Amino acid sequence: MTGSNLDTTESGISDAYTVALNTVPDGDVVIDISSMDITESTVSIASLTFGITNWAVAQTVIVIPADDGKLDGNQTYNIVMSINSEGTTDTTGYALLALAPVLVTNAGDGS
Ligand SMILES: [Ca+2]
Ligand SMILES: [Ca+2]
């Protein structure tokens, strides 16, 4: 994974990170993605699927800032990723993997 500390602004500057697997799976690995503070941002995609053919190909998640209309300065929160147990068919260990959150700071725009 690349880009674990992201900066966005309420005025509309987004940021992004990429995810790829480090080892070959023997089936699909589905990773769910969600913003822990949707008043500050949303994510461009709700889940990523990696398989035997694309496990090493980086997939991009764009963090899209939201303007909450509050004078709240810079807000820091996590984008969390978790293995989707229903969609994941891999048996090499990804099902038990805990994924580190991505820290995002959304800078306030003064309103
Ligand atoms: Ca805000
Ligand atoms: Ca604001």
Q: Read off the pLDDT of residues 36-70 as tens digits, 9 standing for 90 and up.
A: 999 999 999 999 999 999 999 999 999 999 999 99
Compute, in angstroms, the gap from residue 71 CA to the centroid of ligand 2.
Answer: 5
Cα–Cα distances in angstroms (integers) from residue 10 to residues 46, 94, 102, in the given order: 21, 35, 18
Q: What is the pTM of this model?
A: 0.93
Ligand nearest to the CA of 71: 2
pLDDT at site 110? 83
Compute, in angstroms, the gap from residue 99 CA to the centroid of ligand 1.
Answer: 26
As its CATH architecture, domain 5-89+96-107 has Sandwich (2.60)
Task: Report the percentage of the chain scoring pLDDT > 70.
Answer: 96
- The domain spans of the chain are 5-89+96-107
pLDDT at site 1? 64
The maximal CA–CA distance of the chain, rounded, in angstroms, is 49
CA gap 62, 7 in Å, rounded: 11
Residue 19 bridge partners (DSSP):
59
Cα–Cα distances in angstroms (integers) from residue 56 to residues 3, 39, 71, 81, 100, in the given order: 16, 32, 42, 18, 18
